[in-house]
Amino acid sequence: MLPLSTRPIDEIVDRAENAIDAGDKAHFEGDSNLAGQQYEAAVDALAEAKTLTTELAPDRVAEIDRQLRSVRVRQQSLELSGPHQTVRDLVAAAREHAAAGDRAFHDSEYEVALKEYESARDRYESLADSLHEFSFDECTTDPMVCDVCRQRFDAALDFWRINLGVSLQVCLACTRFGSDGNIPNPRAVATEQRAVVENIESIRDGNVGLDWTSDAPPQSDESEDVGTTGDSRDTRQILMQLVGLYQQLGEPPTAADLDEHTDFGYLAYRDEFGSLSEALQAAGFES
């Protein structure tokens, strides 16, 4: 249970994070006005939280400042260039087809599921081509040139974490590719694409039983209202990121590693699996 003195802070931060999520969703769907309103609400909430934090929990001021910076970058990067918009639109279309395939599979409509997954695969392939216009792992020597889109700007750019363990000097639009943004970077896209391809292969092979690789098994009528496709997709994604991080580190990640190097953070793993140890076991590792 949280100390009484910090509960108001956490409640306000939760409100801010909900507004950020709503803003990201609106921005991803192309509604910049609604996204701007949600980001402004998040800024107001975080400013309020910072005032309380300064008085009640000074050790959390840096954390609130980091969240404020992230939201303000979101506000400044609402307008995307043509290539950025193309990537965003392809991601949205690919995920829409993948979700439709999941629903069809759950209803045992395997032919429909196969067509939807194939459409998702095609979008992911187009997305991979579009991402070739960007660079995600090479730094330029010019502080006024974005490391990702390679465009030149009038002032020095800030560093931003885009890929796991890599900080690049990027423009505002390219911050959307980071873990704090709403456009997935190539690593995340490859993970999603691989899952779709595995689903296609499973259906073609007639493997729709216990070894199915989709986001969740079919639900019985009694459990039909428990959970959603989005929740199951998150579970699959957080396990994939845990496996990837474990393989990169060569050892079990700590809670701090999860906070720094995954899109979800330690608390998401704890809430989903009960503990980090149980999350590792669910991912196939000995905790």
Give percent above pLDDT 90 in the chain. 15
List CB contacts of 88: < 8 A, sequence separation 6 or more.
28, 30, 80, 176, 182, 183
C-alpha of 194 from chain center: 16
Where is pLDDT greater, at 131 or 237? 131
Residue 150 Cα distances to 16, 138, 169, 235, 283, angstroms: 33, 10, 10, 35, 38
Kindly tell me if the per-residue pLDDT of 183 is higher than 50: yes
Please state, rounded to an integer, the average pLDDT across all residues of the chain. Answer: 79
Q: Measuring CA to CA, which residue among 173, 182, 180, 178 is closest to residue 28? A: 182
| CA 50 – CA 55 distance, rounded (Å) | 9
| CA 115 – CA 161 distance, rounded (Å) | 36
Predicted pLDDT at 229: 39
pLDDT confidence band for 223 (50 / 70 / 90): very low
pLDDT confidence band for 208 (50 / 70 / 90): low
Kindly tell me if the per-residue pLDDT of 62 is higher than 60: yes
pLDDT confidence band for 215 (50 / 70 / 90): very low
pLDDT digits (tens, 9 = 90+) for 68-87: 887 887 787 677 778 888 88
pLDDT digits (tens, 9 = 90+) for 264-278: 888 888 888 888 888
Average pLDDT over residues 26-51: 87
Query: What is the H or E stretch that residue 117 is in?
Result: helix 110-131
Around Cβ 138, how many Cβ atoms within 10 Å? 10
Q: On the CB side of 230, how many CA atoms lie within 13 Å of its CA?
A: 1
pLDDT digits (tens, 9 = 90+) for 225-250: 333 334 444 677 788 788 878 877 77
Query: What is the H or E stretch that residue 161 is in?
Result: strand 158-163
pLDDT confidence band for 144 (50 / 70 / 90): confident
